Structure 1
Amino acid sequence: MKKIYRYGLGLLLLVSVKVQAQNQQVIDAIIKEAKENSQLETLAHELLDGIGPRLVGTPQMQQAHDWTVKQYQNWGIEAKNEKWGEWRGWDRGTTHIDMIEPWVRTLAGTQLSWSPSSPEGGLTAEVIVLPDLEDSVAFQKWLPSVKGKYVMISAPQLTGRPDDNWEKWGTEESFEAIKEKRAALERAWLDRTQKTGKNRTSLPIALENAGAVGVVTSYWSRALGANKIFSASTRQVPTIDLSIEDYGMLFRLVESGKKPKIHVNAQSKETGLQPTFNTIAEIKGTEKPEEYVMLSAHLDSWQGGTGATDNGSGTILMMEVMRILKKVYPNPKRTILVGHWGSEEQGLNGSRAFVEDHPEMLEKIQVLFNQDNGTGRIANISGQGFVDSYEYLGRWLNKVPREITRDIETSFPGNPGSGGTDHVSFVAAGVPAFNLSSLAWDYGTITWHTNLDTYDKLVFDDIKNNAILTAIMVYMACEEENMVSKKMRIPVDFRTGEPTEWPSKRSPTRQGGILFQRIAR
């Protein structure tokens, strides 16, 4: 009996050593392929430079879905576009803005997403500023004066220098003074707009209904040259966003009585409701094909830049991981599935649609890894409230080279995410879904939803490290003998000490933008 026991123990040890050696071979192959044959720069160029920004409902969004499918198919990976809804279609044309009086200057700016078009050839008109009126009654009396004019509705900025510039070069007194003045100006401008009785959406509509020929904004991101570019709420006339420099100049000219005029030629067109998709690709599993390890990144973007760090970097990361695994691990134990989601920016719609449309898959998802917030190397992983996530994520991370993981901060079990990016859609459904959160590289000010979110801001060394980490984690999740634990910890409200609730699943908006359809003139 003792001999049999020793023989059995020896056999188990031999099998264990063999499995570890096999794992290390695949891991070494992942690292070698990622370092020596990276396709990240090519993918980024084709997506960002070749296709451009990917606003839901635009031709570029559709091109991006089709390009992604074709790229996967070229690598021998099955892929398809899966329709989940419809969205207001819009096609951006050229934007050209010139100051005509009191002197001539071409201004830096663009039309906001879904902005109505200028008349053919553009239109020249005087610029005025939303005045500081007594109340909404005074606002209604003032409204007729906007007819035939462009109206500026954003607060002017006292300085175009970011805070770190003031901290480096200014005195402590001057820095404190500018912060106090800026806060006072922002409070005063908020009070000015609130007295109109309108909000951020209804104010532009009231102006265009009163005959304004356009609305002028400036949403400075507090980084040099960066403005946030979101959507227009006007339905008949263009809304343009100007750089802080040019907006401030126009504002000062108006306030000093110089009556500046600008010529705006912002061309765009409505294209009706357009189908919206998720792009789904898979490497079919061999032993457990009905169990899944998922990758996740949203494909859509806003229209300010080309969506490089939000979320071109996450998109090319997940494509590169799939390419690497197809080459070095072509017959995974479980099916490897990737979702490139549409309309994340309008409320996680693509991923929420996938969760709602595939309830039969949710229990069979081993784990999901999502990446969204920028180009930096992965720096933080939360257990999202899954009690045993420390055990399996810890084991898998241990297989990643130390130079990649040494600065990663983890929080276990953590709390479930309730918004922000696509892993949340799956966490709400009880799927162990983890966001691979990256270093900021000043993401919040320089690139997040700004005109500067472009190819040149990508840090390919960091993305390459992320590809190695993610591919190894996917490989280990596929090879895991059993499904991981999905036991959840209900989060506690730190203010009361009482348990709260697990985030609930939310349905996507499947027909979007229709309330803002352009009204015929």
Structure 2
Amino acid sequence: MKILTFIPVLLFTFPLLAQNTGADTAVISRIIREGTDRSGVMQTASYLTDVYGPRLTGSPDYDRAAEWTLNELKRYGLENVKKETFGPFGKGWSLKRFYLHAMEPVSFPVIGVPKAWSPAVKGVQKAEVVWLNVKSREELETYRGKLAGKLVMISDPVELKPGFKPDASRHSDSTLLVLSNADPKGTRNRSTMGQVNPAISVRDKFEFVIAEKALATIEPSRGDDGTVFSMGAYVVQPENVSWDQRIQAYSPGNKTVIPQVVIAAENYNRWVRMIGKGQTIRAEMVLEVSFTEEKDGYNLLAEIPGTDYPEEVVMLGGHFDSWHGGTGATDNASGVAVAMEAMRLLKEAGVRPKRTIRIALWGGEEQGLLGSRGYVKKNLGERLDKAAPWDSIRYQPAGEKFSVYFNMDNGTGKFRGIYMEGNETARPLFRDWLKPFATKGAATLSPLSTGGTDHMAFNAIGLPGFQFIQDPIEYFAKTWHSNMDVYDKLIEDDLKHNSMVMAVFVYQAAMMEGLFPRKPLN
């Protein structure tokens, strides 16, 4: 019944859509029919997560998943399917085996995830667990000569409180209204940083622990209920180093990284309390990893060539890489599967777009948008002086003819609208393009800009790049960069919906009379 009541609304609104572009309403009907009745988005997501697992940039797992993905894109009938490098990346890393178990005075398993690019420990290591309980640099001296070969708990305990609010939520009418009426000069932030203790820094602690030859560091997760958030290993940086000159854990020749493990806050807090009661804790740890040699990072590209203006390009995508604790489901197999499914829907609908429609699945997003920034610099243009006015931008010919990019990277939640990035010229277009999905709750246009993902690489040189408004579900609460970022957290109906919205948006953009309008640069 849902299909029967949905399609008439689509047919009723299509004449309005045709006023803004040369889009064929019959094609849009076929896109939505195929996406509703024969969606392959969950099958794609399952292969990416269950079969190939996490896709850490530079790792063999990334390579295996990439080969499967390229073959799928070819199977869809897409053209110019290829890998494209974005520059040197660094070492690959794979976690082969890990466990951490409390042995004395009581025995229990510890929930944990090593940080990516953490070195291994040799064999089975049994060691004392020590809490580095310091509030200043001066207090570090009380631990001098006491940490060699120890498992060092390097942080304060985490305060855990009952969860009276649900982890998962959807946007309400009121929250969507706030987004739609927001100050266009504002920015929607993805996360916030914790407080910093000026008396002693993370750098101070790691520098001391490494010098003391500790076996490994142990940190508490910011999550609860056994959820462990783990990213890349911490590297002690030289004093006053600029951001773009920082040494990374994956940098070639970097030997300053100590084995690092993040454990469940509940386990960490228990150890803190036990040590506070004078207990001597011993634990057993296995941490086996493998490194691969430095190589170039790469993105995955494929396209449907345009018929009238093939050199003008509409793009869609999301980042292909993930962290390693789970299987990279909501971050970002969901976005990859939606973009791939959108391309499949377009092919099944028999589109003949005026402009080329290109999918890009980015590498290195988790390390700083490396893939998308590399693609933009290599193919489209560059802002020569980031501190200078916008007139320092130099476009390549492809940048002059670039139209628009649409991105997905905010979990599994349903598209409820789109962030306009302060581009008011996009409002009437997006309003019309969302009309087929208004009855499904996707109608909000927010003037806000949103950060933290690959559309920013395009915006940085004045090219239109957009991210959709998504229902939060439990993205930041449970799955983002965590061991619970797994297939079971994906919502099928939401991803089917997103695939259809994405397909219609790129089709509409590809059929416009001209390029997508760019906002004034100032």
Question: TM-score under structure 1 normalisation?
Answer: 0.80
Q: Hey, what does 1:462 align to over in structure 2?
A: 494
Q: Structure 2 CA distance, aligned partners of 1:228 and 1:19?
A: 45
Q: Hey, what does 2:108 align to over in structure 1?
A: 105
Q: Structure 2 CA distance, aligned partners of 1:364 and 1:98?
A: 58
Aligned-partner SS, 1:300: coil
Matched ranges for 1:272-291 at <5 A: 272-291=293-312
**CA displacement at 1:269 relative to structure 2:** 2.3
Q: Hey, what does 1:314 align to over in structure 2?
A: 335
**CA displacement at 1:323 relative to structure 2:** 0.7
Q: Hey, what does 2:53 align to over in structure 1?
A: 52
Contact 2:317 2:408 in 1 (8 A): yes
Q: Any stretches of 5+ residues in structure 1 without a counterpart?
A: 1-13, 167-185, 491-500, 502-521
Aligned-partner SS, 1:401: helix
Q: Hey, what does 2:358 align to over in structure 1?
A: 337
**CA displacement at 1:266 relative to structure 2:** 0.9
Q: Structure 1 CA distance, aligned partners of 2:22 and 2:378?
A: 40
Q: Structure 1 CA distance, aligned partners of 2:289 and 2:225?
A: 28
Confirm whether residue 431 of structure 1 aligns to residue 467 of structure 2. no
Contact 2:18 2:25 in 1 (8 A): no
- Residue 507 of structure 2 aligns with an amino acid whose one-letter code is Y
What CA deviation, in whole Å up to 9, does each residue of 1:17-64 have, x standing for no partner?
999998221111011110111111211111001111111121111222
Contact 1:144 1:211 in 2 (8 A): no
**CA displacement at 1:224 relative to structure 2:** 2.9
- Residue 53 of structure 1 aligns with an amino acid whose one-letter code is P
What CA deviation, in whole Å up to 9, does each residue of 1:435-462 have, x standing for no partner?
1121100211111111111100000101
Aligned-partner SS, 1:388: helix
Matched ranges for 1:235-274 at <5 A: 235=256, 237-274=258-295
Contact 1:225 1:452 in 2 (8 A): no
Q: Percentage identity across aligned positions?
A: 33
Q: Hey, what does 2:4 align to over in structure 1?
A: none
Alignment match of 2:407 (pick from 359, 363, 370):
370
- With over 3 angstroms needed to count, the CA separation of the structure-2 counterparts of 1:201 and 1:342, relative to structure 1, is farther
Aligned-partner SS, 1:144: coil
Matched ranges for 1:350-389 at <5 A: 350-359=371-380, 360-389=397-426
Q: Structure 2 CA distance, aligned partners of 1:224 and 1:312?
A: 24
**CA displacement at 1:402 relative to structure 2:** 2.8
Question: TM-score under structure 2 normalisation?
Answer: 0.80
- With over 3 angstroms needed to count, the CA separation of the structure-2 counterparts of 1:165 and 1:316, relative to structure 1, is closer
Q: Any stretches of 5+ residues in structure 2 without a counterpart?
A: 1-14, 168-193, 236-255, 381-396
Alignment match of 1:115 (pick from 98, 106, 118):
118
Contact 1:293 1:368 in 2 (8 A): yes
**CA displacement at 1:415 relative to structure 2:** 5.0
Worse-matched range after superposition: 143-152 or 336-345: 143-152
**CA displacement at 1:218 relative to structure 2:** 0.9
Matched ranges for 1:36-47 at <5 A: 36-47=37-48
Matched ranges for 1:66-465 at <5 A: 66-78=67-79, 79-85=81-87, 86-119=89-122, 121-132=123-134, 135-159=136-160, 161-164=162-165, 191=197, 194-195=198-199, 197=200, 199-221=201-223, 223-233=224-234, 235=256, 237-359=258-380, 360-398=397-435, 400-404=436-440, 406-411=441-446, 414-417=447-450, 419-465=451-497
Q: Structure 1 CA distance, aligned partners of 2:401 and 2:332?
A: 27
Q: Structure 2 CA distance, aligned partners of 1:331 and 1:479?
A: 9
Structure number with bigger Rg: 1
What CA deviation, in whole Å up to 9, does each residue of 1:324-345 have, x standing for no partner?
1012134322110011011111
Q: Structure 1 CA distance, aligned partners of 2:48 and 2:471?
A: 22
Worse-matched range after superposition: 337-346 or 62-71: 62-71
- With over 3 angstroms needed to count, the CA separation of the structure-2 counterparts of 1:38 and 1:147, relative to structure 1, is same
Aligned-partner SS, 2:293: strand
**Over aligned residues, Cα RMSD in angstroms?**
2.5
- Residue 153 of structure 2 aligns with an amino acid whose one-letter code is M
- With over 3 angstroms needed to count, the CA separation of the structure-2 counterparts of 1:105 and 1:484, relative to structure 1, is closer
More helix by share: 1
Q: Structure 1 CA distance, aligned partners of 2:454 and 2:510?
A: 21
Q: Structure 2 CA distance, aligned partners of 1:395 and 1:56?
A: 38
Q: Structure 2 CA distance, aligned partners of 1:110 and 1:432?
A: 38
